[in-house]
């Protein structure tokens, strides 16, 4: 009889970072939806929108880290690479399908003023799902095949071979993910300008560069280029963190990642102002498509990761109940629901008609209601009558909290 899989221990810093992304997302959406045009001229609104540049990279980056955790665990258990790929790619397809369902819901609830083209708009759930599918393909290509040669009657030899194979697979995946992230970053400026695949129908081109129906790429959408680079960066970091060497010196590794993050930010500024130019001024756009800005954002993500790890290990994050971490456990659910109560038909405040005080009160209401929803969802999932089927699918549920 095959042994039953043990429940995977949640990593507090991943939940806390997801929860942080949720809070930043709430405040950005609430102020953007409810403030009057006059209130939008305030410093508060400017800082709010600046903070709003972090949630999407955080969610996608953390999906890469979680994906690495899932894949590493399955590899260590000796699951065949084809089974791992099937399970993880299907999970990505599920997220992508949820993205399509979300757009359909938005269209139905706002049918009087929402154009049909919004059904095909590229949103973060679409790209998150596709990025997970691409990571599944990459992990399949980089996985070792030699474990099949181990003979079941020689358990000690088999364990040795599997350990060696897992380490070799991990190293190849790290290199492959770095190459993929660099490739996405370097070709993004071209795919948005001189090398646009304009011969594709706009719904397909939109997945490449976010053109949608506007004739030119839109920086507020979430195409694969450059957003999938954050997933591959997270995959790289995840496999580094879950290696045996990193587990033995975990604090030092996280401190090192924070240092690398600071160095990446400095390099981003140096590359931007330096004499060496990979692109002509006509296509170089630091704030939207430049690899230098992506390097800056990845550096910020690494610094946040290092600080959150320290907060969760030595700070107050684990002293009793953490509302931030709780939101992170159900980030997909609270993302889905809060949109309707902020931007949708059921907005709890009139859109574009509120002052800062009223919008802030609405933000607090959204935070508390989403926290209550999150707690209810967590308790529902823990009900004792629920029986999970044994197999890789039990483990992969940790990718993309819902």
Q: Report pLDDT digits (tens) over 339-360.
A: 999 998 899 999 999 999 999 9
Average pLDDT over residues 194-220: 95
Weakest mean pLDDT among 256-265, 279-288, 312-321, 350-359: 312-321
Residue 316's pLDDT is what?
Answer: 76
Residue 146's pLDDT is what?
Answer: 54
Domain boundaries defined on the chain:
12-242+328-396
Distance CA 130, CA 137 (A): 11
Look at residue 231 and tell me whether its pLDDT is greater than 70: yes
Q: Decide: 89 and 74 in contact? Cβ < 8 Å.
A: no
Q: What stretch of H or E contains 81?
A: helix 81-109
pTM score, whole prediction: 0.89
State percent of the chain over pLDDT 90.
Answer: 75
Q: Decide: 349 and 362 in contact? Cβ < 8 Å.
A: yes
User: Which comes out higher in pLDDT, residue 277 or 197?
Assistant: 197
Residue 10's pLDDT is what?
Answer: 61
Which tokens belong to 228?
Answer: 């999938």
Provide the pLDDT confidence category of residue 165 given band limits of 50, 70 and 90. Answer: confident
Average pLDDT over residues 3-23: 75
Look at residue 157 and tell me whether its pLDDT is greater than 50: no
Look at residue 370 and tell me whether its pLDDT is greater than 60: yes
Provide the pLDDT confidence category of residue 6 given band limits of 50, 70 and 90. Answer: very low
Give whole-number Cα distances, 5 to 65, 73, 84, 238, in Å: 21, 11, 15, 22
Distance CA 139, CA 70 (A): 11
Residue 116's pLDDT is what?
Answer: 92
Average pLDDT over residues 196-200: 95
Weakest mean pLDDT among 39-48, 124-133, 171-180, 244-253: 244-253
Look at residue 70 and tell me whether its pLDDT is greater than 90: yes
Residue tagged 């809060």 (tokens):
338
CA 197 to chain centre: 26
Distance CA 338, CA 391 (A): 33
* Burial (CB count within 10 angstroms: exposed 0-12, middle 13-18, buried 19+), residue 79: middle
Cβ count near 98 (within 10 Å): 18
Distance CA 21, CA 328 (A): 8
Look at residue 297 and tell me whether its pLDDT is greater than 70: yes
| Mean pLDDT value across the chain | 88
Provide the pLDDT confidence category of residue 155 given band limits of 50, 70 and 90. Answer: very low
Distance CA 191, CA 189 (A): 6
Provide the pLDDT confidence category of residue 388 given band limits of 50, 70 and 90. Answer: very low
Residue from 370, 386, 348 nearest 18 by CA: 370
């Amino acid at each position: 009889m095959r042994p039953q899989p043990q429940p995977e221990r949640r990593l507090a810093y991943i939940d806390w970072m997801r929860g942080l992304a949720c809070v930043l997302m709430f405040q950005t959406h609430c102020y953007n939806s409810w403030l009057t045009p006059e209130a939008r001229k305030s410093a508060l609104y400017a800082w709010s929108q600046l903070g709003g540049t972090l949630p999407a990279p955080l969610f996608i980056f953390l999906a890469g880290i979680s994906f690495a955790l899932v894949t590493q665990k399955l590899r260590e258990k000796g699951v065949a690479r084809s089974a791992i790929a099937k399970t993880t790619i299907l999970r990505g397809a599920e997220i992508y399908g949820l993205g399509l369902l979300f757009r359909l819901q938005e269209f139905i609830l706002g049918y009087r003023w929402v154009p049909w083209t919004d059904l095909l708009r590229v949103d973060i759930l679409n790209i998150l799902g596709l990025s997970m599918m691409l990571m599944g393909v990459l992990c399949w290509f980089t996985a070792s095949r030699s474990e099949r040669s181990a003979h079941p009657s020689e358990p000690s030899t088999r364990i040795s071979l599997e350990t060696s194979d897992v380490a070799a697979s991990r190293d190849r995946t790290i290199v492959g993910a770095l190459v993929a992230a660099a490739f996405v970053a370097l070709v993004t400026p071209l795919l948005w300008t001189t090398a646009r695949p304009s011969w594709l129908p706009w719904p397909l081109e939109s997945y490449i560069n976010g053109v949608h129906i506007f004739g030119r790429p839109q920086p507020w959408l979430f195409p694969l280029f450059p957003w999938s680079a954050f997933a591959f960066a997270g995959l790289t970091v995840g496999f580094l963190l879950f290696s045996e060497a990193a587990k033995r010196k975990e604090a030092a590794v996280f401190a090192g990642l924070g240092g690398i993050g600071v160095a990446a930010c400095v390099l981003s500024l140096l590359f931007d102002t330096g004499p060496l130019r990979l692109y002509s001024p006509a296509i170089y756009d630091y704030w939207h498509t430049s690899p230098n800005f992506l390097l800056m954002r990845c550096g910020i993500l690494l610094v946040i990761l290092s600080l959150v790890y320290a907060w969760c290990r030595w700070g107050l994050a684990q002293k009793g109940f953490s509302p931030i971490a709780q939101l992170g456990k159900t980030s997909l659910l609270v993302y889905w629901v809060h949109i309707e109560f902020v931007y949708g038909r059921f907005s709890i405040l009139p859109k574009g008609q509120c002052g800062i005080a009223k919008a802030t009160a609405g933000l607090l209401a959204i935070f508390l209601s989403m926290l209550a929803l999150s707690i209810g969802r967590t308790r529902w999932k823990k009900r004792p009558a629920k029986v999970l089927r044994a197999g890789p699918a039990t483990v992969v549920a940790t990718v993309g909290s819902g």
